Amino acid sequence: MPFEKESEHLNGIVVLKTKEFFDNRGSFMEMYRSDQFEEIGIPGTFVQENYSFSKKGVVRGLHFQWEPQLGKLMRVLSGTGFLVAADIRKNSPSFGQWYGREVSQEDRIQIWAPPGFARGFCALSESLEIQYLCTGIYNPECESGIRWNDESLNIKWPVKDPILAQKDKDAQSLVEWMKNPNSELFKI
């Protein structure tokens, strides 16, 4: 199997280690196989692939979407980043908890977070390239975010004064999101 399930967290997050094969020409990796992903609990069908480039100190997120709901499989293409997923499913035993991990291109780590998780990342190297596969098509009318430094989540970001987009500066708190009727759509 070209993937090894390294660990599981918060009732749905799966960390994968991808095997890399080397020879005198270079290397090769299988990054996605629907049959093997389904075996380890990750949906086999992705419908959108995204790419993000960020400068050092940028924080993006915490983003989520409720229609269609999005699961995301993230990996670092170059550089080093701190990848985060926070559980915002009201009925989850891990509601309000987060998982974060420093990941670099050398690690060959992929992190899966199912729908109902708010996701984000921080660029730790001079530049960071991230690729993520999504289980739903982007719908700007049904997306939102939780403030990166929301006190109730208390994420231990490795930056103090990040570079943020205006929408991330203006994002709501987890408490505010829980009052939104759409928050009822995230269930285990």
Any idea which residues carry the catalytic annotation? 63, 132
CB 129 within 8 A of CB 164: no
User: Phi and psi dihedrals of 128, rounded to 5?
Assistant: -140, 130
Q: Rounded to 10 degrees, what is the CA torsion of 25, 31, 32, 38?
A: 120
Q: Which two tokens stand for residue 104?
A: 């670099």
Residue 24, amino acid: N
Contact 71, 43 (CB under 8 A): yes
Which residues, 6+ apart, have CB-to-CB distance to 157 below 8 Å?
59, 82, 84, 100, 122, 148, 149
Say how far apart CA 47 and CA 51 lie, in whole Å: 14
Candidates 48, 51, 8; CA nearest to 134 is 48
